[in-house]
Each structure stands twice: as structure tokens, then as C-alpha cells.
Structure 1
Amino acid sequence: MKNLKLSLVCAVLLSGMSTYAIDGNEDFNLHVLKSNGSLITFALNKVTKANLAIYDQDGTLIYSENASGKDGILRTFSLEEFPEGTYFLEVEDNVKKVRHEITINNGTSVLSTKAVSSTYKADFSAKDSSVAVR
């Protein structure tokens, strides 16, 4: 009976770890927490300072803020004033810039969980280095 209980506990722990690993992604660990009508809520794990910006499809900046948090950043945006269409949430820290798509249709806002683009910045130590191209 003890072996059965121990097996069940191990199975639950392992399934919990694999669920977390599937939920995480390589881009700032941005997690979409809620999408309720025109509200979107997301969290940036392990990011203490970042610039958040929302652009329209033509690349026009609509909103920008410097966000910070002790253990991460949690934000909720109300997009009720935005017309239907496609927008982009851009998250930038000192290492990289990541863009996620926001789609607004029939009063419902959807933030993509996967990044549509990710750009790493050059390390400061790369300033005086040479790059060979073949």
C-alpha cells in the first residue's frame, strides 16, 4: 500500500513539472493569465525591468511604459477603446526585444502566447570584436 501511495505522489509531482515546462516558453516566460472580453492579463517571470509598448499594424506607437517589479511584472490592459484589428505587444529589456500579437475582434481581445518575433541585443563586450562572414 505504501508503494502505491508513493507511486501516486511521484506521478502527481512529475505531471506537475511537465505541465509547467510545457506552459513556459523561451521568450521572457510571458504567460497569458486571462483574456476576458477587452481585458488581457499577462505576467513576465524573472523580468524586473522592461519597456512595454503596444503598436498598431502600421507600426504606430499607441502606448508605452517602463514597467518594473521585484520578482516579475504583472500587467492588465483594457483594450475596449481600440478598434478591431491586429496590434503588437513589444517587451524589451537589456537583453532582447520580443513581440506578441494582439487580435481584437467583436469586442474580444486575444494575446498570443508565442512570440511572433524575438531579437537579441549584442552584448556590450561585442563592441570591439570582429565578425567574419563567409
Structure 2
Amino acid sequence: MKNLKLSLVCAVLFSGMSTYAIDGNEDFNLHVLKSNGSLITFALNKVTKANLAIYDKDGTLIYSESASGKDGILRTFSLEEFPEGTYFLEIQDSLKKVRHEIKINDGTSVLSSKAFSSVYKTDNTAKNTIAAIR
């Protein structure tokens, strides 16, 4: 497990990291730009600051970072050291937390563009607070 975490950190450090914006009307969109073998590339529309994390199917945190960009966020992750299985990419900003599923099979990584789950945050000072889970 220690080698897996170290390999992941090295892979992320060598992967391209920059900012990116995509036109869209929604306030929080994940766009899967490409999956190429063990590489996954995605963009977050209109998100200037977010925490990114990757968990295994048991909920163990494998990787986390704080990401930011002027008009959006673009990330590429290399998952070549990950064993086959199901993982979750969690994206959390000031408004909500979204999880997307990552499946790794036969050296190919696939990131779902549709959210696995979404949890909206509420203002604790508000009288009527509602949390929505999808």
C-alpha cells in the first residue's frame, strides 16, 4: 500500500496541471475530456477553488489536493499503479461535495461523467436548512 501511495504521488506530480474553462450554465460541472489507458483528464466548469480526493471502494483516502484556477480547473491523473477495481473521485467546493466513479480494468481507467452522489452544503446560520442528496 505504501508503494501504491508513493507511485500515485509521483504520477500526479508528473501529470499536467493547469486551469481550464468550459462554457456551460450550471455552477458545477465535471467534464471528462479524455481517458487514455491509465490516464484520465477532466475539467471543472466555473469552479475556482476545490478539494480533490481519490478514495478506494472501502473509503480509504489514497490522494488529496487543493486545486484552484481563475476560470476553472483542469487535471490529469495517471492511475497506472492502481490495481484493478473501483475508486471514487471526490470534488468538494464551498457549495457541495460530488463523487464520481473511476473503474480500472485491464489497464484502462474510466471516469464517469455523471455524479455517483452529490451533497449540497447549507449555511448553519439559516433558520430553514435543507440538505439534498442525489
After TM superposition, the score normalised by the length of structure 2 is 0.75
Counterpart residue number, 2:43: 43
- Separation in 2, partners of 1:25, 1:108: 31
Counterpart residue number, 1:89: 89
- Go from structure 1 to structure 2 and tell me whether the alpha carbon gap of 1:69 and 1:115 turns closer, same or farther (over 3 Å shift): same
Structure 1 position 38, deviation (Å): 0.1
Q: Which has the higher helix share?
A: 1
* Ranges of 4+ aligned residues in structure 1 off by more than 4 Å: 24-27
After TM superposition, the score normalised by the length of structure 1 is 0.75
**Corresponding letter in the other structure for 2:75:** R
- Separation in 1, partners of 2:103, 2:27: 19
Q: Figure out how many residues of one structure are paired with residues of the other and give that number.
A: 108
Structure 1 position 104, deviation (Å): 0.1
Residues 14-33 of structure 1 deviation map (CA, whole Å, 9 limit, x = unaligned): xxxxxx99xx6957210000
- Separation in 2, partners of 1:27, 1:44: 9
Counterpart residue number, 2:120: 120
| Structure 2 residue 70 is matched with structure 1 residue 70 | yes
User: Where does structure 1 lack aligned partners over 5 or more consecutive residues?
Assistant: 1-19
Aligned alpha-carbon RMSD (Å) = 2.0
Structure number with the bigger relative contact order (C-alpha 8 A, sep ≥ 6) is: 2
DSSP-derived class of the 1:109 partner? strand
Counterpart residue number, 1:3: none
Q: Residue 44 of structure 2 contacts residue 73 of structure 2 at CA under 8 Å; is this kept in 1? A: yes
Structure 1 position 125, deviation (Å): 3.7
- Separation in 1, partners of 2:43, 2:77: 12
**Corresponding letter in the other structure for 1:60:** T
Counterpart residue number, 2:56: 56
